[in-house]
Amino acid sequence: MLSFYYCKKAEIFDAANDRMVPAAVSTGAMDSLLITVSRDYVHKSGDPVEILFYDPIQGLATCRCMLTSPLNVDRQNRSFRCQVLEIISRNQRRQDIKISLTSKVTVTLERPDRTLEAPATLQNISAGGVFLVSDLELKPG
């Protein structure tokens, strides 16, 4: 079975409302998988759900899961223990076809208080994004 140790983000398909519900992913005791969602998400105990995991290692993985042991985290959020029952599909974005190229570009980062620009070199393009190298110092997120 897939390990989602590095996964931090997921979406649960809410069949009752025909929508995707954003969720945070973390690991609990003994590497159990925890899914945290808004309290307005209603889950019927015993019903499996489809969850789309956004994992930096595994890629996009859609799984059929069982959610148990609801725990109110705070006034807005609730956590469930998640057991992956079946992997429905996987899409490894790192395996996208890449088009190699070398091109000089300018990276522009617009912030509320200022705009930063820096030269960069574009290395390749794929369906999942671009690989570029720049001296612009950015923080994760």
* Six-digit token string for 84: 């992956």
* Six-digit token string for 47: 């019903």
**Model confidence over 17-68: pLDDT tens digits?**
889 999 999 987 777 899 999 999 988 888 999 999 988 777 889 999 999 9
The Cα 18–Cα 14 span in angstroms is: 6
Its pTM stands at 0.65
Calculate the average pLDDT of the chain: 86
The Cα 3–Cα 123 span in angstroms is: 30
* Six-digit token string for 107: 């990276």
Q: Which pLDDT score, from 0 to 100, does residue 129 have? A: 76
Residue 116: pLDDT band with limits 50, 70, 90:
confident
